[in-house]
Structure 1
Amino acid sequence: MTGQEPNVRIGDVSGSTFAIGSHAHAESHQHGTGAPADQELLEAVRELRADLARVRATEQTAALGEALADTEAELTRTGQATPTRRERLRELLADSQSLLTVLASAGTVAGLLGL
């Protein structure tokens, strides 16, 4: 060695597990919240977004489409949807009861959110 200590830089590690050192050991335990599997929710959100493109646009469908896009982005980026995001989708789906009866995908998302 040249007398200088090696530099270690670690970027964003949120949601990550790591260990440093010759005898380091890292474990990660995530405990579910009783919410549906986020991968299943992501697939249902994508399906509903695709179905929304096939119906006549209204203020309600536009708001729902925007919330679904935000939810999809969050699920893709972080692997989970926050409780606040889930609650927003619940509210929009509850306000769109006629949509729930027409689109099976809306019913799927509503069911996964416990509506």
Structure 2
Amino acid sequence: MADSDNSRDRGGIHVTNTGGNVTIGDNNTVTSTVNGAGPALDPGQEALLQAIGKLRADLAGVVPSEQTAALDEELSDAEDEIEATGRAGAGRLRRLRQALTDAGAVTGILASGVAVGQAVGTLLGG
């Protein structure tokens, strides 16, 4: 047996070519990227991206309206911007906040809508 194979017998951990997120031990952070490409996200942007995904999934189950269609478009644009650049800019966040307000009858009763609103508020500083 070669020396490099012996290290595996001593209780070490060897991880190669993971297809997703891997964390080992306590107090670790997982940062998502698409296929390993794209910028790393700060925790606020990561929280917004996750909340957007949940809200878009929830919106698929509601009766569509002009407001929910506009909101879904803003959510999609914000998602694309975060994945491409690592962050949603202030202008995008303000448009998203307005779309949430406009679709308030729906987003106010969805926990995912509240989560997006909170994440946007945090990133805008208020």
Q: TM-score, normalised by structure 1?
A: 0.66
CA distance in 2, matches of 1:79, 1:61: 25
CA distance in 2, matches of 1:57, 1:96: 11
Which structure has the larger Rg over C-alpha atoms?
1
- The answer for the alignment partner of 1:80 in structure 2 is 87
2:64 corresponds to which of 57, 62, 72: 57
Secondary structure of the residue aligned to 1:37 is helix
- Does residue 1:110 correspond to 2:117, yes or no? yes
Structure in which a larger fraction of residues adopt helix: 2
Percent identity, please: 44
CA distance in 1, matches of 2:112, 2:99: 14
Number of corresponding residues: 82
RMSD of equivalent CA atoms: 1.8
1:100 corresponds to which of 90, 103, 107: 107
- The answer for the alignment partner of 1:67 in structure 2 is 74
Gaps (5+ residues) in structure 1?
A: 1-14, 16-31
Amino acid at match of 1:42: L
Secondary structure of the residue aligned to 2:108 is helix
| Moved segments of 4+, more than 4 Å | none
Gaps (5+ residues) in structure 2?
A: 1-38
